[in-house]
């Protein structure tokens, strides 16, 4: 009698588990996920991204030249000259490197935007769950790839007409700002240099 | 460079010391095999700065101060 009752109980439990088991497992997983999200939220360090960007800026500064660093700090992008012979474009080509936006190629002589070169550097998600490099690391990665192996880098990128991700008005404005910025630097440099034509007074 | 971190020092050493060189070589190989790109910042005689992309430890100039690893680029 007891044996029969026991067997029935086992069968009943097994059937019950079959019915509610998957729902229980699902609920358990949801609870764990909620708890993990809560823990991540509570342990999130609001300064982490800022410190990461600070380190990235220092690394960028140590790699690029003074002009490029000033350009990035003051204009928000870096101009890199192309090593390519631009027969098809009719002149010298350069790129604007923005953080987390496509590279923009343009014709130096006329300032005409040529193309958007869309490229990303997807990383494994960091502690905050983001796979994005800090802004200045993204700029440095593009700068190194462009100056190191332009053709290989461009072969990786998806090319589009300018205006797809970066507004063409902004590109034109940035190219104009760059020329003004360079002009003012050249004037400042000329002002600082001693004038060779000035008379030299000796005692 | 790493998301959420910025610069992370992976290994340091003197390539002229055999033990260090072996360790640096091993770490370099590990990073490349994990899919990263490697670059060495360089400066020419005209003080122009650029980077040299390197694919093997032998490509790294002996006088290089550092090798920077970055995620592999992909079309965006």
ipTM of the complex: 0.92
What is the phi/psi pair of residue B75, to 5°? -60, 135
| Cβ–Cβ under 8 Å, residues B72 and B36 | yes
Contact between B67 and B38 (Cβ < 8 Å): yes
Residues of chain A scoring pLDDT < 70: 1, 17, 37-45, 85-89, 126-129, 194-203
pLDDT of residue A10: 78
Whole-number pLDDT of residue A31: 80
- Which residues of A fall within a CB distance of 8 Å from B5? 52, 55, 126-127
**Cβ proximity of B40 and B8 under 8 Å:** no
Identify the pLDDT of residue A7: 76
- A65 and B49: CB-CB below 8 Å? yes
Question: For position A164, what pLDDT does the model report?
Answer: 92
pLDDT of residue A131: 77
pLDDT of residue A140: 97
Per the model's pLDDT, the better-predicted residue between A45 and B34 turns out to be: B34
Question: How many Cα atoms within 13 Å fall on the side-chain side of residue A73?
Answer: 12
Note the pLDDT of residue A163.
93
Q: Does A144 touch chain B (CB under 8 A)?
A: yes
Band (pLDDT 50/70/90 cuts) for residue B28 is very high
Sign of CA dihedral A98, B49, B26, B58: positive
Q: Do A94 and A83 meet the contact criterion of CB atoms below 8 Å apart?
A: no
The confidence score (pLDDT) of residue A198 equals 54
Minimal C-alpha gap between B64 and chain A (Å): 13
Within 8 A by CB and 6+ apart from B32, the residues are B38, B55, B56
- On whether the CB atoms of residues B69 and A121 are closer than 8 A, the answer is no
Segment B27-50 mean pLDDT: 93
């Amino acid at each position: 009698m007891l044996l029969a009752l026991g067997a029935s109980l086992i069968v009943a439990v097994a059937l019950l588990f079959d019915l509610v088991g998957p729902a229980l497992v699902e609920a358990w997983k949801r609870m764990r996920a909620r708890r993990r999200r809560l823990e991540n939220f509570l342990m999130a360090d609001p300064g982490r991204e800022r410190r990461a960007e600070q380190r990235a800026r220092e690394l960028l500064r140590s790699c690029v030249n003074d002009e490029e660093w000033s350009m990035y700090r003051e204009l928000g992008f870096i101009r890199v000259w192309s090593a390519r012979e631009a027969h098809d474009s009719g002149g010298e080509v350069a790129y604007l490197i923005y953080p987390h936006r496509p590279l923009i190629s343009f014709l130096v002589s006329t300032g005409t935007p040529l193309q958007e070169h869309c490229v990303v550097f997807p990383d494994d998600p960091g502690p905050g769950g983001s796979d994005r490099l800090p802004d200045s690391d993204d700029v440095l990665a593009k700068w190194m790839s462009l100056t190191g192996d332009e053709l290989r880098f461009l072969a990786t990128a998806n090319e589009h007409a300018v205006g797809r991700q970066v507004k063409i008005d902004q590109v034109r404005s940035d190219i104009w700002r760059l020329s003004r910025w360079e002009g003012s630097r050249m004037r400042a440099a000329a002002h600082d240099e001693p004038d060779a034509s000035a008379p030299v007074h000796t005692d | 460079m790493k998301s959420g971190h910025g610069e992370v020092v992976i290994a340091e050493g003197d390539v002229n010391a055999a033990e260090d060189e072996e360790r640096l070589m091993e770490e370099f190989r590990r990073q490349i095999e994990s899919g990263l790109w490697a670059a060495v910042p360089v400066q020419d005689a005209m003080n122009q700065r650029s980077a040299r992309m390197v694919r093997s430890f032998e490509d790294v100039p002996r006088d290089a101060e550092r090798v920077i690893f970055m995620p592999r680029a992909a079309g965006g």
